[in-house]
Amino acid sequence: MMRGVARAMAQLLPPSAKAGLARWRFGHDDSGPRFRVTRHDVDGHAAVTIDGRFTLLVTADAAEAMTYYFEQDGDSRKEMASFIHVSSEVPADAVLLDVGAHFGLFALVHLALGRRHRAVLLEPSTPLSAASVSLLQLNGFGDRGEARREGVGDTVETRSIGIDALGFASAPHDAASGIPVAFTTIDHLCTDGALRPAIVKIDVEGFESEVLDGARETLRRVRPIVCLELHLDVLEQRGRPLPTLLAGLESAGYTFETTDGSRVTAAQLCRSLKAIARIVARPTGAAA
């Protein structure tokens, strides 16, 4: 209710104020940490070095994503800095489960930060999944990174999806235009114990509730750190209450922090008027 009222009131603002508010709500401001980004050419590909710490070879499309996350967008820079911190603190052989992998940028960073790090990338979009495979191979990570064209939710099934102009998975225009894609759950992936992720990164454009509902056993037993992008407006519009989502994490023994490392409560997150909130959910106690 509060978010809907705030959105309605925002429409009464003059255009300049409305634009500034939109930048704040979506994180498109100039705040956040600064990375030292250098570029050079390697065999026709852009080699991007971050803080002198690691270098990634990228295609043109992936180079745009790197610019966005490391240079342009304030909240995305905060998110990436937080992820680098998390990836650097986990064990040397830590596995990342990258849910909603897009090009696989977070997985590439994780693999670059540790010679024994591993990653499983899950992305339902055919073009984005294919791009992540190419980037893993381009960077020599094919033996430690596995990209799967799969969606993740609360059930194991085949669903029909569409692909939008940016390559993202979306609802199909009609039954005939949909592409069948396998969907799984995190619990199904981790049931036999072969996959024990130290980090689960979730960016699924407002379908976070379903992914977490399908991960309850893994959260209780494996205790991964969860890097979570919450699409607050979309969750509200879909009738997926944020308090219920956060209560589920709390009941599994998780606490929350912002991407700058500050503790934040569920109540504070529920009062946020931002469109997107990026948080880290950390487990308390050991695995069951």
Distance, CA of 50 to CA of 109 (rounded, Å):
10
Q: Model-level pTM?
A: 0.90
Domain boundary assignment for the chain:
1-30, 64-283
What is the structure's pLDDT at 270? 95
Distance, CA of 167 to CA of 160 (rounded, Å):
15
List, for the chain, all residue ranges whose pLDDT scores fall below the cut of 70: 1-29, 173-176, 286-288
Residues 6 or more apart in contact with residue 136 via CB below 8 angstroms? 104, 107, 108, 111, 121, 142, 145, 147
Instruction: Give the type of residue at 258.
Output: T
User: Any idea what DSSP says for residue 117?
Assistant: -
Alpha helices in the chain, H assignment, sequence order: 2-10, 15-26, 60-67, 74-89, 105-113, 126-138, 186-190, 208-213, 216-221, 232-237, 242-251, 266-271
Is CATH 3.40.50.150 what the domain over 64-283 is classified as, yes or no?
A: yes
Distance, CA of 134 to CA of 100 (rounded, Å):
17
What is the structure's pLDDT at 111? 98
What is the structure's pLDDT at 17? 53
What is the structure's pLDDT at 194? 80
What is the structure's pLDDT at 18? 46
Distance, CA of 246 to CA of 209 (rounded, Å):
9
What is the structure's pLDDT at 163? 87
> Quick one: tokens of 180?
């069948």
Q: What is the pLDDT of residues 154-192, one digit of tens each?
A: 999 999 988 888 788 887 766 667 889 999 999 999 987
Q: What is the pLDDT of residues 108-133, one digit of tens each?
A: 999 999 999 999 999 999 999 999 99
